[in-house]
Amino acid sequence: MATVVLSFAPPGFYAVDFPLEFRVDGVVVHAGSFRAGAHVAVDLGAGDHVLVATVRSPVPRSRTFSFAVGEEPLHLELSYDRWWGNFKKSLVIRAADHDDLLRALEQPGVPESVGELPAQPMTATFTLLAVLAVGLLLEYALPVVPRTGFAPNILTLQALGALGKEAFRDGDYFRLLTATFLHADPVHLALNGVALGMAGVFLERKIGARWFVILYGISGLFGSFGSVLANKGNVLSVGASGAILGVVTAGMVLAELDPPAIRTGIRLQLARVLVPSLLPLAMHGDAPVDLGAHLGGALGGALSGGALYLFLRGPARSQARDTANDGHTAWKDALTAPLVTALAAATVLLNAGALSRIPSRAYAPMRAEVALAATLIPNEDLPKDSGPHNDLFRAWASRFPDDPRVLLWQAEQARDSQDREAFDRAIGAGYAASARTESYFGADQKRKFDEEFKSLEGDRVFFDLLPNEQNPIGPDSVAVWNSHLDEWLKRYPKDPRVHKQAALRAYNAKEFERALSEIAAAEAAVPGVASAFPKGVDLGVLSAVKYFSLLKLKRDAETAPLRAVVCAGSHGDYAKKLLVDAGDCPERASR
């Protein structure tokens, strides 16, 4: 039998306390405070033994050591690795001296650290971690477009509440809160989750769930405002990094509530929390890092942490003086006061209200926009040059029949082929498509579409005109006109050129009344088709035909004034020449 001293020096760098337990061969030989350290003596028989040292933190840390005992007293010295968060694997074994044995035999109680604050449960931290996990699951369960890689599509993030400057300007203020519940991918969530868990260990166990929720909410809001101010309009922001960074910053400020001897250690431990939170700065890949959210969150945490320090400083000092009060009344009251509860509840309700806006204000509109985009020609498929691209549009007409650009092309094709029904159908559908796609193309593009359709409507006059390719010219033109004139009069009753030819035919057939009727119809049709004939329609010869028709009908009262006008050259040289050749223009007027 020999005495074995187990010692563990107090780790001054830890912010909160956890139970410390030593087991030798399965038997508990010490249960005490991790922050207070341990120095105990155990009597063990000669032979091999097993020591299990455990820190019962939210994530328990344990290390197993094997050692042999002989006849002489031993001193087993344990140490803790702050960076790896566990006991070091090496166990220092040496012979126990008189001082070691004396100190162990005195068995002092766990020393009190002046001003030590009672630990609070980590309800808020675990709840937030669960909510963030649910947020990521929803990103994969409710995509608005299929994923092309491992991460959710950016449109899905936008539909579920991601923050962007343009959306903020459009009045989607709820995104200031909802963006903090989303993450770009599982790695992003894992890093922030680790940081949030570590921050909760240090801070929530000190200040309680209510104040932790308040600090987290304020920091997240400051981070979102920083993102809006710092980012360009086309950048979307997601993630809890700003809120977490704010909580850590607040924790560094609140370290002033702890005894001076451990403040530096606490802040060093909190600095470790920043490692997973800031890793995205070095791992962002092609995605921009939201520095505005990080800096805004840190500022919010510093301000709110400073205000909370001023609020809690009095109760902390009171608790430090009154160690007889085992209930820590002053400190407990400060953490659970009605005002604190109301602020925490308001924070939760405000975030819940923001999340409730997502289905109607973000998700449904984005789904509708994605569905709309599926009916439109992809921008990347549009040709870069200004060629006709008729083959492309023919293919697109069956795939994207409601695209305003396809309908414009169809209207032009119908106009050129004189298909009035297809033209009217394309114009009507085009106006409807322009209005339907305004949310996708924007108000300016809608206005351009409407102007183009209106311009095409002006071409409706061409349906009332004989196509240029059918207009007879050349030596056989008279024969062609005469063979088709009756048909064209019925088909193109608003074309002055057709009435002109009908008037000439009637005059040659000595049908003078019919000739006058056709001349009147030709003159009446000109204003309605003026847009189709920028240089005007040449009806000058009809003035001479009208004159001779009136002359044959002996309508002298109408003949004289018309003769004066024609002979003055007002109706063209050819009409005047006809009257001069007939000897109906005075000699002076004919020169």
Host H or E run for residue 78 = strand 74-78
Instruction: Answer yes or no: are the C-beta atoms of 49 and 66 closer than 8 Å.
Output: yes
| Mean pLDDT value across residues 169-180 | 94
Q: Which residue has the higher pLDDT, 298 or 59?
A: 298
* Distance spanning both ends of the chain, measured CA to CA: 151
| Mean pLDDT value across residues 526-533 | 87
| Mean pLDDT value across residues 30-42 | 86
* Position 58 pLDDT exceeds 70: no
Q: Using CB atoms within 10 A of its CB, is residue 280 exposed (0-12), middle (13-18) or buried (19+)?
A: buried
**pLDDT, tens digit, 9 for 90 and up, residues 67-88:** 999 888 888 999 988 777 788 9
pLDDT value at position 113? 39
Residue with tokens 């570590």: 198
pLDDT value at position 333? 64
- What does the alpha-carbon distance between residue 363 and residue 377 come to, in Å, rounded to a whole number? 23
Q: Which is catalytic among the residues 75, 183, 188, 294? A: 294
- What does the alpha-carbon distance between residue 194 and residue 240 come to, in Å, rounded to a whole number? 12
**pLDDT, tens digit, 9 for 90 and up, residues 267-303:** 877 887 777 666 655 555 455 677 889 999 999 999 9
* Position 341 pLDDT exceeds 70: yes
- What does the alpha-carbon distance between residue 576 and residue 372 come to, in Å, rounded to a whole number? 64
Lowest mean pLDDT among 99-108, 312-321, 325-334, 515-524: 325-334
- What does the alpha-carbon distance between residue 288 and residue 76 come to, in Å, rounded to a whole number? 51
pLDDT value at position 430? 95
Q: Report the length, in residues, of the chain.
A: 591
* Position 428 pLDDT exceeds 50: yes
| Mean pLDDT value across residues 184-202 | 88
Supply the mean pLDDT for the chain: 85
- What does the alpha-carbon distance between residue 348 and residue 333 come to, in Å, rounded to a whole number? 21
Handedness of CA 159, 165, 169, 175 (dihedral sign): positive
pLDDT value at position 137? 95
Handedness of CA 128, 129, 132, 137 (dihedral sign): negative
pLDDT value at position 288? 60
Residue whose C-alpha is closest to residue 471's, from 482, 479, 481: 481
**pLDDT, tens digit, 9 for 90 and up, residues 348-368:** 999 999 999 999 999 999 999
- Tokens standing for 18? 């956890």
**pLDDT, tens digit, 9 for 90 and up, residues 456-492:** 988 888 888 888 888 888 888 888 998 999 999 998 9
pLDDT value at position 268? 79
- What does the alpha-carbon distance between residue 264 and residue 13 come to, in Å, rounded to a whole number? 7
Report how far Cα 151 is from the mean position of its chain's Cα atoms: 15
**pLDDT, tens digit, 9 for 90 and up, residues 132-149:** 999 999 999 999 988 878
- What does the alpha-carbon distance between residue 337 and residue 327 come to, in Å, rounded to a whole number? 15
- What does the alpha-carbon distance between residue 187 and residue 233 come to, in Å, rounded to a whole number? 26
What's the pTM?
A: 0.65
Catalytic annotation on 183? no
Q: Which is catalytic among the residues 113, 219, 237, 241? A: 241
Highest mean pLDDT among 98-112, 213-227, 323-337: 213-227
Residue whose C-alpha is closest to residue 214's, from 120, 305, 315: 305
Write down the number of H helices and E strands in the chain: 27, 12
Residue with tokens 């102007």: 451
- What does the alpha-carbon distance between residue 490 and residue 515 come to, in Å, rounded to a whole number? 17
Catalytic annotation on 241? yes
- What does the alpha-carbon distance between residue 161 and residue 362 come to, in Å, rounded to a whole number? 6
Q: Which of the four pLDDT bands, split at 50, 70 and 90, describes residue 155?
A: very high
